[in-house]
Structure formats: structure tokens, C-alpha cells
Amino acid sequence: MFKYSEKVMDHFMNPRNVGQIDNADGEGTVGNPICGDLMTFYIKVDNGRLTDLRFKTFGCGAAIAVSSMVSEMAKGKTLDEAMKITNKMVARELGGLPKNKLHCSNLGADALHKAIEDYRNKKGKRGKRK
């Protein structure tokens, strides 16, 4: 039987950066119909850097811990740096996840990446309207 690391339990019991950002610069939602987990990331960007990010996650304890960890790993990073955050990095930073929960780490990184892509798409469209 797999025991969750202290870091996973800490991020599950005391998640960081929970919530929604009104008028977010970017928003990304991913879900896994197999397990029912759903994650949404909201980001604020200033000068190419993530100045604020929040998440809402509907899912298991591992999914909540992953969302919390991704938000901590990405805060203050440039968009390019945040796009390099991978599921393996998140799982490693949490001290490991059981194999049947590794899909949660995929969702966290994917939701963040979608929010950044959303921001870049919006920025590109705004720039073309001149």
C-alpha cells in the first residue's frame, strides 16, 4: 500500500493559491473523465511573468495537492519557464505519487499550460486589432 508523502498531505490539507481570479489574463481547464478530476487555473501576467495564479480543483486529495504544488512552482516564473513544468517535475517535487494517481500530475501541468496558451492567444488577438 502506498503512503502519501508529507508534502502531498501538507498541500492537500493546506492548499496554496486556491480560488478564482476575476478578469484573469488566462484561464485553462482540463478534466479526466476516467477519474472525474477537474482543474482550472487562472493567471495574471505582468511583463511576461506570472504575478498571480489561482486554481479550483474538483477531485481527490492528490489532485488538490498537485494543483497547489503547480501553483507554487509556477508563481513568479516567466511564461516560458512555467511552460517547462512537467508532470514528472510536479510528482518529484511532491515526493512521489502512487502510479494510479500520476494522471493527476498530468492534469495540473496541463491546466497551467492551457491558461498560458489562453493568455497568449488573447494577447495575440488584441495585438492584431491595431
Domains of the chain, earliest start first: 6-119 (3.90.1010.10)
Q: Select the more confidently predicted residue: 120 or 91.
A: 120
Among 118, 99, 95, 105, CA closest to 44: 118
The whole-number pLDDT of residue 99 equals 78
pLDDT tens digits along 75-88 = 999 999 999 999 88
Percent pLDDT > 70 in the chain is 90
44-48, 51-55, 90-94, 101-105: segment of lowest average pLDDT: 101-105
H helix or E strand, kind and range, residue 89: helix 87-93
- Whether the pLDDT of residue 63 is over 50: the answer is yes
The whole-number pLDDT of residue 130 equals 40
Q: Which residues are catalytic?
A: 35, 104
pLDDT tens digits along 8-52 = 999 999 999 999 999 999 999 998 767 678 999 999 999 999 999
pLDDT band at residue 129 using 50, 70 and 90 as cut-offs: very low
Percent pLDDT > 90 in the chain is 64
The whole-number pLDDT of residue 9 equals 92
Burial class (CB in 10 A: 0-12, 13-18, 19+), 27: middle
Sheet containing 49-58: order of strands: 26-32, 37-46, 49-58
